[in-house]
Each structure stands twice: as C-alpha cells, then as structure tokens.
A = this chain, B = another copy of it.
Amino acid sequence: MAQQHLDPTDPTAEPVKGDALARYLRSQATEFLRALRLHRETGGTAGGAGGSAEAALALRRSARRISGSLHTYRPLLDSAWSEEIRPELAWLSGTLALEHACEARLDRLLLALHRLSGATPLPTQSTPATAPGAAGPAVPPPTGERGNLTVGAAKAGALLERQLTLARTRAHSTALQALGSSRFHAVADKLAVLASDVPLTPAAVGTDLRPLTDAARERLTDAVAALPLVTAGHPYNAEALVHGLSPDPAPHAQDAPWHQVRLLLRLYRYAREVPTPDGDDSPLHLCVPAAGRALNRHRDASEAAAAAAQAARTPRIAPATAYALGVLHADQRHEVEAARFAFQQAWQKQTVGTS
C-alpha cells in the first residue's frame, strides 16, 4: 500500500508523524485518479465489463481509505474540508458498491441452492481451495445451468436471478449516472487537489499519529467486547435463526452490532496502513485478516438470507418455490452463525496471544 510510495533510499523519507498521513492521503488520491482514468479508458458505459468493474472497485477502494483516514485522524485535518468531503465519499463508495453486491449475492444464493440440491459439482474453473466449513466452492454456476435441481430449487433460483439481476441493472445505471454527475466531478476535483495538497491543520505536522491509531483500535475492541462472543463460541447455538419466522419486518437486529464491528475493523486496518515511526505494536492486527473475512461472510450471508426471505414474499409463487426459499433462508442464517463462530475463534487466538 502506501508504504510503497516511501522511497527507502531517500534519507528525508522517514515518515515523520503528521506528514505520514499526508503522504498516505496523497497516494490514495493518486490511486483514485488512476482508477478514474482506467474507468474512462475502458468505457464506463460498457455495462460491467472486466476493466470497468475493476476500475469501479479501485475507485471504491481509495474512496473508502480516504474517508476512513479522515475519520480516524480527524483532529489533524482541516475540519471544514473534511466534513464537506466525507459524506460525498460515503455516497460515492455506497453507490459504486451496490452493483457488485447484487452480483455477489446472486452468486452466493445460486451456489447455496446447488449445494442444497446435492447437484453434481459444477465444472471447476480454477476453484480456490475452500476451508472446511466454507459454504461450497466460490465459483458461481454458469447462468442458466441448474444441473439436477428440483422444481422448487430451480424455480427459486430463477426467481432470485430475475429479482437480483433487475436490482443489479438498476444499480449499474445508478452508478453510471453518479459517475457522470456534477456531484461526482466535484468530488474528483477535490481529490485531484488532495493528490498534491493535503489540508492538514497547522499542528498536524509533528503530531504523533499513534494516539489516534490507538483510539481506533480501542473503539474496535470496545465494540467486540459488547458482542455475544460466549454464545458465538458455542457451536450450533441456534441463535442466528431465532426470529427466522418472526412477523417483525426487520428481525435481524441481532446482526447490527456485528456489522458495526466489521466497519470498525476496516477503519483500524486502514489506520494501520499509514506508516508511523514507532508503529502499532498491538498483537491484535494478527487476527485482523481472519476476523475481517469472517465478518464479510457474516454480512454477505445476512444479506443473502434477507434476499431469500424477500423473494418468498413475491405474490403467487408456487409452494415448492416458497419451500426452497425457506430452506435457503435458514441455510444462510446458519452461515451467519458459522461466521460468528469463525470470528470468535479468530479473535480468541489474538486474545490468547496477548495474555
């Protein structure tokens, strides 16, 4: 990441406090501009082609990192500028994320339907090895290929495909509109300035970043401490599916604290990307990759379960379709529970490591 932009042969390049933050923000703004150029070159209107999707991902990556740094290192940055650009970055990365989310959700649900149907394994296209407990291979079934699914599973798959493809198409249009809007151009202009000129507060240069990185870590550890980790550490605690048939339209309030921890973990990860002279010596960062994967899986399974439940509310579906969607919903809620268990295990290791 940002470390690569520090020339190790340059004796003046030692990252000194607030200046390290400026370097990091400049490098992320540069990444953003590079992604924007890529996006324009690959023709953003071509409808989610490879290069365009990659460009959108890179735009989101740097937008999230800049936004995260503005949050974590708020006292070191000009507050008027910071408060103006942060909501714009959130709008942008949120808008750009939607299309990919719809696509990933559909892949996840179709894969789960295949697994639940005991369908013959799909031809592997460089399938990454999956850990035990992972929900099947990561390669989505080719569109239209339904192997030997039952009628119910096939109909449920077709319904989800219709609904999520529609959502994805809408998200794609919205993203394209956003990228062509004057609102977006204003953000891009601001980031073009940031690539050379970071609005640090006068006191920032010479200020140690460490207390702010520590604070980000503490917000994370406090939020984790409030999670029901004892329950999550008992396999098959059957917590995630409680309220699975609740009349409550938003039954999964229990997921919110985990989503919150996911965001705090990401902020801490970004904060650690800013090179500081004395570094962050907490062993916590060792568990960050595994914990982050578990929380991404938690979020994905939670949203997939909600999509299955939503699809089941479609009027006039066949009982077999509804049954398959019920099985699918419960399956994804168990994935939620499995992800919490995986998070607990990853976090546990770190705690064992420190004590």
Contact = CB atoms under 8 A, between A and B. Distances in A.
Per assembly, the copies of the chain total 2
A148 B341 contact: no
Contact of A247 (B148, B312, B319, B328): B148
Nearest to A330: B330
A149 interface: yes
A251 interface: yes
A323 to B, nearest CB: 4
A296 interface: no
A33 interface: no
A166 interface: no
Q: Which of A244, A318, A321, A324 has the most CB of B within 10 A?
A: A244
Contacts of A150: 245-247
Interface string A126-154: 00000011011000000000001110110
B327 A234 contact: no
A110 interface: no
Contact of A149 (B115, B245, B329, B337): B245
Contacts of A193: none
A325 interface: yes
A133 B133 CA distance: 18
Interface string A305-340: 000000010000111111111111111001101100
A118 B331 contact: no
A48 B330 CA distance: 35
A353 interface: no
Interface in A68-125: 113, 115-118
Interface stretch (A2-10, A235-243, A270-278): A235-243
A222 interface: no
A38 B283 CA distance: 68
A248 interface: yes
Interface in A36-70: none
Interface string A142-185: 00000011101100000000000000000000000000000000
A83 to B, nearest CB: 40
Contacts of A328: 326
A324 B327 CA distance: 9
A246 B330 contact: no
Contact of A327 (B117, B245, B337): B245
A113 B242 CA distance: 10
Nearest to A230: B132
Given A133-B237, A236-B338, A319-B321, A246 B117 contact: yes
Given A116-B244, A117-B243, A323-B323, 19 more contacts: A116-B241, A117-B245, A118-B246, A118-B248, A132-B237, A133-B236, A135-B238, A150-B247, A153-B245, A235-B341, A236-B334, A241-B331, A319-B321, A323-B326, A323-B329, A325-B326, A326-B330, A327-B327, A330-B330
Interface of A: 113, 115-118, 132-133, 135-136, 148-150, 152-153, 231, 234-238, 241-248, 251, 312, 317-331, 334-335, 337-338, 341
13 contacts: A116-B245, A117-B247, A118-B242, A118-B243, A235-B235, A236-B341, A241-B327, A245-B327, A312-B320, A312-B323, A322-B326, A323-B329, A324-B326
Task: Name the 4 nearest CB pairs between A and B, nearest first.
Answer: A326-B326, A235-B235, A330-B330, A236-B338
